């Protein structure tokens, strides 16, 4: 997923989010931005899918097999939806490229991005269509950022706290039932269903954007009031 390198408060997020690219980054964002701004008529548009790209878990144990299973599900999504594009952190590019090629994916189906400053991180998150959370260790702060950007996600809660953060955030947005799944099979099927239905995905995006200013997740005033009690 697009990963930030600075931390801002949620109240700062309320004050100005633009869909335009910041100066100096137009080359990075222009392909997706042009797709969104003026899509050619009667041509099926690609689905941009971001992922948290987590390579570790909260318990310090090597869970390589879990990550292979997860990535296998993600690559199957790309095989079932050939117009989909998956965004990954550039640091993971060598193994991802090799595995993706072995699964029969085309080189342009996986796009690698670098870390970015907070404002750009949130702006470009809105250019994706769907966010795939990593079940073993959720994206945490990035989840808040992508929900604020109006980007729907799919998350699979497990047993430990680090695996349930995203589910809690989705519930606090009021749209938990539409973004939380209960199995890896449902994880893949929900992603495919949304990727294949532009209208269904857009409806979920619109719902998420409409509740940002009223849902408990971003009600900073209420959160502070509870903290001070």
Instruction: For 145-203, write each residue's pLDDT tens digit.
Output: 889 989 999 999 999 999 999 999 999 999 999 999 999 999 999 999 999 999 999 99
17-21, 87-91, 125-129, 159-163: which is most confident: 159-163
* pLDDT confidence tier of residue 217, bands split at 50, 70 and 90: very high
As given in the structure block, the two tokens for residue 105 are 């994916």
**Separation CA 145–CA 74 (nearest Å):** 22
**Please, what's the b/e burial string for 210-228 (b: 16 or more CB within 10 A of its CB; e: otherwise)?**
ebbeebebbeeeeeeeeee
**Separation CA 169–CA 46 (nearest Å):** 28
**Separation CA 86–CA 74 (nearest Å):** 8
Query: Taking a C-beta distance cutoff of 8 angstroms, is the pair 93, 112 a contact?
Result: yes
Handedness of CA 112, 115, 120, 126 (dihedral sign): positive
**Separation CA 172–CA 10 (nearest Å):** 14
Handedness of CA 182, 186, 191, 197 (dihedral sign): negative
Assigned CATH topology for domain 20-228: Rossmann fold (3.40.50)
**Separation CA 50–CA 88 (nearest Å):** 7
- pTM of the full structure: 0.70
Q: Is 146 left (phi over 0), alpha (psi -120 to 50) or beta?
A: alpha
- From 5, 21, 7, select the one nearest 127 (Cα to Cα): 21
pLDDT digits (tens, 9 = 90+) for 80-116: 888 888 887 777 677 788 888 888 888 888 888 888 8
């Amino acid at each position: 997923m697009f990963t930030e390198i600075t931390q801002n408060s949620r109240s700062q997020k309320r004050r100005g989010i633009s869909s335009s690219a910041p100066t100096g980054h137009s080359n990075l964002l222009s392909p997706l931005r042009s797709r969104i701004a003026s899509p050619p008529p009667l041509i099926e548009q690609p689905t941009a899918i971001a992922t948290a790209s987590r390579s570790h878990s909260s318990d310090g144990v090597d869970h390589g097999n879990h990550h292979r299973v997860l990535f296998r599900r993600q690559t199957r999504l790309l095989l079932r939806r050939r117009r989909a594009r998956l965004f990954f952190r550039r640091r993971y590019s060598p193994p991802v490229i090799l595995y993706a090629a072995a699964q029969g994916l085309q080189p342009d189906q996986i796009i690698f991005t670098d870390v970015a400053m907070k404002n750009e991180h949130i702006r470009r998150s809105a250019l994706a269509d769907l966010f795939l959370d990593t079940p073993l260790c959720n994206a945490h702060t990035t989840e808040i950022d992508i929900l604020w950007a109006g980007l729907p996600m799919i998350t699979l809660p497990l047993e430990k706290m680090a695996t349930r953060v995203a589910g809690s955030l989705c519930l606090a947005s009021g749209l938990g039932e539409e973004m939380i799944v209960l199995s890896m099979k449902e994880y893949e099927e929900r992603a495919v269903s949304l990727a294949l239905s532009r209208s269904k995905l857009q409806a979920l995006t619109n719902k998420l954007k409409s509740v940002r200013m009223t849902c408990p997740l971003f009600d900073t005033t209420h959160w502070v009031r509870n903290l001070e009690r």
